[in-house]
Every structure is written in C-alpha cells, then in structure tokens.
Amino acid sequence: MEQLNGWFTDLLSGNVIFTANTLSFYWSGLVTTVQLVFLSLLIGVILAVPLAIGRGSKRRWIKLPIYAYTYVFRGTPLLIQLYLVYYGVVFFDGIQDSIFWVVFKQAFFPALIAFTLNTAAYTTEIFHGAIKNTAKGEIEAARAYGMSRKLMMRRIILPSAFRRALPAYGNEVIFMLHASAVASVVTIMDLTGAAYYVYARFYAPFDAFIFVALIYLCLTFSIMFTFRTLEKRLLAHLRPRGA
C-alpha cells in the first residue's frame, strides 16, 4: 500500500493536467453518469414490463398508443428528447411555484426523465419481441394445466421471455451508457462533461478525452462481463449438451 501510494504520488507530481483536483472532477462525473444510467435503466425496466405486455395485446386501443410511443421515441434522437424535456419542463403550469421545482431546477431530473422514457421505449420492444417468441408448446402446456392467463404470464411466459431478452438487453444497457454522454450538453457534469471541462481548462484534447474514453471502455467491459456471466447462468438450459 505504501509503495502503491508512493508510485501514485510520483505519477501525479510530475503531471500538470491530471492533478488531484481534475481527478476528483472525473470521479464525480463517474458517479453522476452511473447514477443517471442506473436510475433510468431501473425505472425504464419497471415501465417496460407492463408496456411490453400491453404491446402484445389484441385490443387496438391498448396496442396502438404503446406502438406509437415506442415508434416516436426510437425514431428520434435522444438529444432532441432531452432538449424537449429540459426546455419544456417550465411550460407545465405552476411547476415553478410547486415543491417539485426544487428538483426540476437542476438539470439532473429532466435528463433522468428523458433517458427513462427513451430506454423504456427500447426495452418495451425488446421484451415484446421476447414475449412474442415464446415457444407454442410452453403456452399449450400451461393451458393444459388449466392456468389462467395471468398465472401463465407470471409463471411461464415472463420468466422465459426475460431470459431470452437478456443478450439484447445487455446491448441496450451499453447503448444507454454511451448515450448518457449527451447529458453533458444540458450542463450536467457527467464523465463527458468533466472531460470537456479538463479539455477547455488546459486545451489538452488528447489527454482529456482519451482518459475519459478509457473509463468508458472499462465500464463497457464490466457491463459486458456481467451480462455474459448472467447469460451463462440463466441460459444454461439452452446450451447444447456436452458443451
């Protein structure tokens, strides 16, 4: 530990750009990015499950609005959605006088709303696809057991659909991490915002952006690793025997 400390101080002492001060900027940026992405993914999944079930409904008045929602949010850039929420939030009457203004004043919450709506749209389509691909035999077996539609959804369709959706959802998580970089545009100090600050302060684009790219790379790889481990555990029954 002593040695490591000494090595670290040596590394930092000769460095103008990566001082403790800028590193703390990167650190708080990392915390903001992870919070933003994690929260929006969490709320997004909670929204997406009922939406995905509704998306596969036979009733048009349930199916069509959900389809319109996913179509619009998947067809337009996240940046525009972010701008719309960020600049549009003041147009809700009386929001500036209500207690909510304390949270909406900061850019974090508009960004969280935009990201959540965006990822919920993508996740809805992923889950919908997985639900649609449920093997007919599984549904027939469940029906033969006399399960009601609700019970069948809960015990048979959803568990197997979640497993099948896992690889696509892993991609969505990485996509969200990368997309969260636009948060820096609306004054949020996330990782990219921190990198931009360091770039502007020292006029050192290579140092600032390559460093942050490496952090993102580490995050991406750890997400990939997590999902691969999860897939190995949860999709074990789908692997060819003897493999």
d(CA 37, CA 12): 30
Query: Looking at beta carbons only, is 207 or 231 nearer to another protein?
Result: 207
Question: Cβ of residue 66: shortest distance to another protein, in angstroms?
Answer: 17
Instruction: Pick between residue 67 and residue 209 the one whose CB is nearest to another protein.
Output: 209
CB of 180 to another protein, least distance (A): 8
CB of 113 vs another protein, minimal distance in Å: 14
For residue 182, CA distances in Å to 60, 84, 207 come to 35, 13, 20
Residue number, 113 or 156, with CB nearest to another protein: 113
Quote the least distance from Cβ 210 to another protein, whole Å.
Answer: 7
List the structure tokens of 128: 């919908």
Q: Which is nearer to another protein, 17 or 49 (CB)?
A: 17
Identify whether the C-beta of residue 209 lies closer than 8 Å to the C-beta of residue 195: yes
CB atoms within 10 A of CB 166: 17
Angle at 12 between CA 180 and CA 15, to 5 degrees: 85
Our measurement of the distance from residue 113's CA atom to the centroid of its chain's CA atoms, rounded to an integer in Å, reads: 12
Residue 47 or residue 84: which is nearer to another protein going by CB?
84
Q: From CA 109, how far away is CA 67, in angstroms rounded?
A: 26
| Residue ranges that bind another protein, judged by CB under 8 A | 71-72, 75-81, 83-84, 87-88, 91, 177-182, 184-185, 192, 195-196, 199, 205-206, 209-210, 212-213, 216-217, 220-221
CB of 75 to another protein, least distance (A): 4
Tell me whether residue 141 or residue 214 sits nearer to another protein (CB atom).
Answer: 214
Q: What proportions of the chain, in percent to the nearest 5, are helix, strand and coil?
A: 80, 0, 20
Closest CB 130 distance from another protein, rounded Å: 17
Element containing residue 51 per DSSP (H, E) = helix 20-55
